[in-house]
């Protein structure tokens, strides 16, 4: 680690010394810039407010220096083939009328030196650094960069506009005392070192690899390395954090990767046949695409994002998980959901297009709606909204059974009815695509004394617990006949209405 940081420090120092002394020549487009004056051998220095319209190209060992001015550019800037661009003490304004209308492109060993410079635009613009190019930004405010193909980004005391940084294709990034406002996407053979910095969300990509990740949360990371603090195999990216603050983590699981996540708070994206298991974690956003297998156990799905299922063909197994996020969207998907889930609010579909979800409902029958022993041999019948029978069955010797319901474009918001019959008891229950599971089927326990007959003793017994509630010293849920968390006159009346009935 010390050796790596020392090398980076040397790179920064050498860059500061060498770049200003490079031979400075004017490019073919620079001569069209207003208020341009030449000094020495075609040195172009732009003073005051300078406006340039059209594409600017710096190439073939040429160097373009822009300093001590406000520079308004309407058009692309391309630095290629060993060209060098220096922006020093510049208020740089990219003049656009729409998002990504123009941008920077650096390729072919290009060099870019940005010092004491502020970049502005009415709309976001993109900067791509390719083919062994190098960018050095000192004490500046810049727009996010996309770094590919053995390119290098070095930031010192620099802030970025909101957006996404991308490091991929054996690229290298070093940031010191800097603020990255947005996402930092680490992918495919990239190496990223962040020292005394802060940033938004770190996005880690896993391709054809295995990873066991834990304790990924927002906060200060004093000394953290992906390969040291986590368990990873065949992972080509490397991320090091030293005294660096993150606002969150996003995990991208790609082709045939096997990723397990524990005790974390993360965004999760599953693409192209990964197997992803998440335990004891908070899932801020779940995006599932193509063939995937997802397991969630003891988790909470809770975020400000829509849960998206897009061209997803696979399975989701849920065990003891709370879903508190209300919104979801499904596109061109066909998948299977099983397990135990608790929803705090009904799920609202922002979009449902050409989708088929098969939901497994595991049922538990009990002798009362809110408490009681499990009941075997309970006859269950599932009806649709037109009272058409969709399924029938009986609970096993421990009061359990499960069945599948397939939801498509035309019925995914339907309410189904599950009827339960056991002797003289009957229970009717609503069931929907995202109903809680296990789904508890209970019977009204009017025979609270358990003697097989609803009599005056049952009415008296419920009355003895009148005006009690959870937390009251006399509370007993058995006598809350209608399961509203309060024993009142309505419970007494309900038992009285069944006076004289035999309960088998």
User: What is the reported pLDDT for 42?
Assistant: 30
d(CA 386, CA 382): 11
User: What is the reported pLDDT for 470?
Assistant: 87
Ramachandran category for residue 128: left, alpha or beta (phi over 0 → left; psi -120 to 50 → alpha): beta
- CATH class, 367-442 region: mainly beta
User: What is the reported pLDDT for 27?
Assistant: 33
d(CA 121, CA 91): 11
- Both structure tokens of 332: 């061109």
Ramachandran category for residue 424: left, alpha or beta (phi over 0 → left; psi -120 to 50 → alpha): alpha
User: What is the reported pLDDT for 304?
Assistant: 63
| Average pLDDT for runs of 10 along the chain of length 504 | 41 35 32 31 52 91 90 94 94 95 95 96 92 96 92 96 90 96 91 96 95 97 97 95 97 94 96 94 91 92 79 90 80 93 77 94 80 82 95 94 94 92 79 89 76 89 92 86 86 90 71
Length of the chain: 504
d(CA 421, CA 402): 16
Is-cis flag, bond preceding 438, omega within 30?
A: yes
Burial of 86 (0-12, 13-18, 19+ CB in 10 A): buried
**Sequence ranges of the domains in the chain:** 1-143, 367-442, 444-504
- Both structure tokens of 129: 């650094």
CATH architecture of 444-504: Sandwich (2.60)
User: What is the reported pLDDT for 13?
Assistant: 36
Q: What are phi and psi of 487, to 5 degrees?
A: -100, 110
Q: In this structure, are strands 43-46 and 36-39 parallel, antiparallel, or unpaired?
A: antiparallel
Q: In this structure, are strands 356-366 and 439-442 parallel, antiparallel, or unpaired?
A: parallel
pTM above 0.95, yes or no: no
Helix axes 489-497, 456-463, angle to 10 degrees: 170
User: What is the reported pLDDT for 434?
Assistant: 86
User: What is the reported pLDDT for 328?
Assistant: 85
210 close to 185: Cβ distance less than 8 angstroms: no
User: What is the reported pLDDT for 341?
Assistant: 86
390 close to 396: Cβ distance less than 8 angstroms: no
User: What is the reported pLDDT for 12?
Assistant: 39
């Amino acid at each position: 680690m010390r050796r790596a940081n020392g090398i980076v420090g040397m790179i920064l120092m050498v860059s500061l010394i060498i770049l200003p002394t490079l031979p400075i020549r004017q490019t073919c487009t620079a001569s069209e810039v207003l208020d341009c004056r030449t000094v020495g051998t075609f040195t172009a220095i732009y003073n005051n407010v300078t406006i340039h319209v059209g594409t600017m190209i710096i190439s073939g060992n040429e160097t373009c220096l822009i300093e001590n001015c406000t520079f308004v550019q309407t058009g692309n800037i391309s630095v290629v083939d060993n060209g060098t661009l220096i922006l020093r003490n510049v208020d740089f304004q990219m003049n656009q009328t729409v998002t990504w209308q123009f941008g920077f492109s650096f390729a072919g060993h290009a060099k870019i030196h940005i010092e004491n410079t502020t970049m502005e635009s009415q709309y976001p613009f993109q900067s791509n650094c390719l083919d062994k190019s190098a960018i050095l930004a000192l004490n500046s405010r810049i727009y996010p960069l996309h770094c590919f193909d053995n390119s290098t980004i070095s930031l010192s005391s620099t802030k970025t506009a909101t957006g996404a940084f991308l490091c991929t294709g054996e690229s290298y990034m070093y940031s010191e005392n800097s603020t990255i406002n947005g996402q930092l996407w680490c992918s495919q053979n990239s190496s990223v070192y962040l020292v005394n910095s802060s940033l938004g969300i770190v996005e880690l990509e896993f391709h054809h690899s295995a990873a066991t990740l834990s304790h990924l949360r927002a906060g200060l990371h004093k000394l953290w390395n992906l390969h040291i603090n986590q368990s990873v195999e065949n992972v080509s990216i490397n991320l090091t954090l030293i005294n660096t603050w993150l606002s969150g983590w996003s995990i991208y699981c790609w082709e045939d990767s096997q990723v397990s996540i524990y005790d974390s708070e993360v965004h999760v994206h599953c693409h192209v046949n990964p197997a992803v298991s998440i335990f004891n974690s908070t899932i801020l956003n779940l995006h599932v695409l193509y063939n995937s297998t997802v397991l969630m156990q003891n988790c909470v799905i809770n975020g400000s994002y829509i849960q998206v299922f897009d061209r997803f063909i696979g399975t989701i197994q849920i065990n003891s998980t709370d879903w508190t996020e209300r919104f979801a969207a499904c596109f061109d998907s066909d998948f299977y959901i099983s397990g135990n889930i608790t929803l705090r609010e009904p799920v609202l579909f922002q979009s449902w297009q050409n989708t088929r979800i098969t939901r497994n409902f595991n049922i538990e029958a009990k002798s009362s709606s809110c408490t009681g022993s499990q009941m075997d041999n309970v006859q269950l019948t599932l009806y649709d909204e037109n009272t058409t029978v969709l399924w029938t069955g009986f609970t096993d010797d421990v009061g359990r059974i499960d069945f599948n319901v397939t939801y498509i474009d035309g019925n995914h918001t339907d309410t189904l009815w599950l009827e339960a019959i056991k002797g003289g008891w009957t229970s009717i229950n609503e069931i929907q695509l995202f109903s809680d599971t296990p789904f508890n089927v209970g019977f009204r326990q009017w025979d609270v004394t358990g003697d097989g007959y609803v009599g005056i003793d049952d009415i008296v017994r419920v009355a003895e617990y009148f005006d009690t509630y959870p937390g009251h010293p006399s509370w007993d849920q058995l006598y809350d006949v209608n399961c509203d968390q309060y024993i009142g006159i309505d419970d007494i009346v309900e038992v009285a209405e069944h006076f004289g009935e035999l309960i088998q």
